[in-house]
Amino acid sequence: MKIVALDGYAANPGDLSWDELKTLGDCTVYERTAPDELLQRAANAEVLLTNKVVISAETLAALPQLKYIGVLATGYNIVDTNAAKERGIIVTNIPSYSTPSVSQMVFAHILNIAQQVQHHSEEVRKGRWSSNPDFCFWDTPLIELRNKKIGIVGLGHIGYTTARVAIGFGMQVYAYTSKSTLQLPPEIKKLDLDRLFAECDIITLHCPLTEKNREMVNAEHLSLMKKSSILINTGRGQLINEQDLANALNEGKIYAAGLDVLSQEPPRADNPLLSARNCYITPHIAWASTEARERLMNILIDNLKAYIDGKPINNVAK
């Protein structure tokens, strides 16, 4: 069985091992694959592994030997699953591997904004504390999270884990979710989207990207938010209209944003959020803790072994 990993570097830049995968077949791991390299590298492969390399219907039509696609992520919109299903190709994803790490990053951003950790650390390095007449200094608002309202858009595994952390901070938790009120614990209250944006101090996005919710965070919804509010996005960059968010930040319509994802990655140098006021951006690393990537690699192997045994699991093309 020929196995080809098209872009293995992000999941395993060298600190983990591909050895177990290589016991399952004739395996080639490429660090990265450009679109014009895809068909040559994937030729005659029964198994393709991809993280962000797009597998279109046209690509599938050109790969008659292909039987299995393993997506090295939870989201699988990079694969045309309808075309795969029509061709009898199994497509698996890696569910829930990054839940603790992503919810941790949500609060890394929240706490950085609330306490201005990065800013004050940099000011200390500049000598401002050493030259200060008092035993302490701060030059931004410092925000306590207790009793603040956090609105969670999407209450899957990550959204729910984020809610539990928020409850631990003593926050009031609200959610925009397809779940019924009866399915929610008493600590989580359900709100419609407009009320969530209008009433909550912090909004955090945890929904999958669909055509219906693309750029759901736009001028209209941002205009509902409080001037003191904070937006967090560790989901998908395309959930936000980036120019609208940059305008809202620069004009003081909302207080701050913490983002781990952008609509294009790496971002264009002229992305308006890169220079927007109070916009804190990390380079899509919420998922990338060592522990999360170890889980990813283990689930990858479990998925592939289940396929080999004729009992596929985590199949998203059915």
- What is the set of active-site residues? 236, 265, 284
Structure-token match 């061709």, residue found: 87
CB 301 within 8 A of CB 21: yes
CA count, 13 A, side-chain hemisphere, 39: 10
- The partner residues of 5 in beta bridges, in order of sequence, read 29, 49
With a CB cutoff of 8 Å and minimum separation 6, the contacts of 206 are 152, 153, 154, 155, 156, 158, 159, 162, 234, 235
Give the whole-angstrom CA distance, residue 53 versus residue 36.
11
Query: 30: how many CB neighbours lie within 10 A of its CB?
Result: 16
CB 316 within 8 A of CB 92: yes
What angle separates helix 157-168 from helix 99-115, to the nearest 10 degrees? 40
Give the whole-angstrom CA distance, residue 39 versus residue 236.
27
CA count, 13 A, side-chain hemisphere, 258: 25
Provide φ and ψ at 201, rounded to 5°.
Answer: -80, -30
Q: Which 3 state secondary structure label does DSSP give 259?
A: strand
Give the whole-angstrom CA distance, residue 303 versus residue 309.
10
Cα 148 from chain centre: 24
- The partner residues of 202 in beta bridges, in order of sequence, read 150, 230
The amino acid present at 88, given as its one-letter code, is G
